[in-house]
A = this chain, B = another copy of it.
């Protein structure tokens, strides 16, 4: 097992990794940018080291700074968290070249699974259905031809992307031509890679993902699904499990196909296979995330399995240590992403100092957050301030707990999206479980909030 990990990330996930390290008896060093000097993970870590200025390109996205920090602080491993360099095979390779363990898939596995377009082809050969789509788009001409082939509307996607960033839905050849160079430069800025591909846009779909864990010895299990259909602008804001849209037989079949395919394709470590599920219940594989997901606690609540600890153990070369029958899917869990953003004003991100703070608690409630009284939310990074996860034996119970917990949550000094969660817990489509990924974007955040306030 590794003995000292550099946490090459920030915010709630840095804290989450720190907790896994502590539980495993591993020392944790937090790498922080100047903007995160007063952050909770930096304060709670065994050691904290400043790696650069607020600008992520010179700190959390700087492979040399992170590796240098790991070496200077005597670490033997690096945990990349999510986002930033978490799925960068060159970073994973450099980490290994300096004698450090990368907590995630080995560089060659990351490399193999880095291109979304390639992965779709690979996993299709191992039995996963995929959305009709293109390979990498060399130029505008090819993009137009591919779009014509699969049929408009299409979704333009960065091959190196994640978290919904840089994706655009396009309805016509003219729009495609206009948007293509913009997407390319956004992809380059966000991921350092401007490769794009496109997929058929499935109207009224759901977003369901299967969590998997595979050790170095080819032993893999799935940890059931998460339904991430509640999104705004392609970004998830609420996730739950089990998916209210899937039958017991349907989820079991999909999960089993997924784990079989990724093991056969040579995947290693924890990962998530994302699917679109259409109104007839057909699932189409769209991408794999080779890292811990923001929404991993949903799965932890249902299975009792610590996914970050599992990730560290696998990367250290340990066998998985449990079998498929040891992975229950017990009760129902919902995660609410608490973002520093204003749902009434187009989800505009906010920053500021937290003046008062109260975290929800009690039975079946988990709140993963780096917030505290006096914390200054920096304006430089993503807006995720915390994750409220509730569990109960039934979906109805989890919804009731969610309402109760949201009523306890206090974050003063920074605008948050709590109102959108309250509105969701009053909205008929959510309560009935009959919703698709466009629930919020169809009307917009402000209109959705207003509708929730109307009686009846």
Q: How far is the CB of A242 from chain B (nearest CB, A)?
A: 15
| Distance between A13 CB and nearest chain B CB, rounded to angstroms | 11
Q: CB of A300 within 8 A of chain B?
A: yes
By a CB distance below 8 angstroms, the chain B residues around A331 are: 304
Contact A24 B400 (CB under 8 A): yes
Contacts of A297 in B (CB 8 A): 363
Contact B362 A401 (CB under 8 A): no
- Given the complex of chains A and B, what is the CA–CA distance between A362 and B14 in angstroms? 12
A367 in the interface, Cβ–Cβ < 8 Å? yes
Query: CA A357 – CA B357 in complex, angstroms?
Result: 11
Q: Which residues of B contact A359 (CB under 8 A)?
A: 359, 361
Q: How many copies does the complex hold?
A: 2
Contacts of A393 in B (CB 8 A): 304
A40 to B357, CA, bound (A): 12
A23-75 CB contacts (< 8 Å) to partner B: 23-25, 40, 44
Bound: A368/B361 CA distance, A: 6
Q: How far is it, in angstroms, between the C-alpha of A24 and the C-alpha of B403 when the chains are bound? A: 10
Report Cα–Cα, A331/B306, bound state, in Å: 13
A40 to B400, Cβ gap below 8 A? no
- Is A233 part of the binding interface, using a Cβ–Cβ cutoff of 8 Å? no
Verify if A142 is at the interface (C-beta below 8 Å from B): no
Contact with B along A362-373 (1 / 0, CB 8 A): 111111110011
Residue from the list B16, B362, B401 in contact with A366, Cβ < 8 A? B362
CB of A330 within 8 A of chain B? yes
A260 at interface, CB cutoff 8 A: no
> Is residue A324 within 8 Å, beta carbon to beta carbon, of the partner chain?
no
Q: Quick check: is A407 within 8 A (CB to CB) of the other chain?
A: yes
Residues of A within 8 A of B (CB): 15-16, 19-20, 22-25, 40, 44, 297, 300-301, 304, 306, 330-331, 357-359, 361-369, 372-373, 391, 393, 397, 400-401, 403-404, 407-408
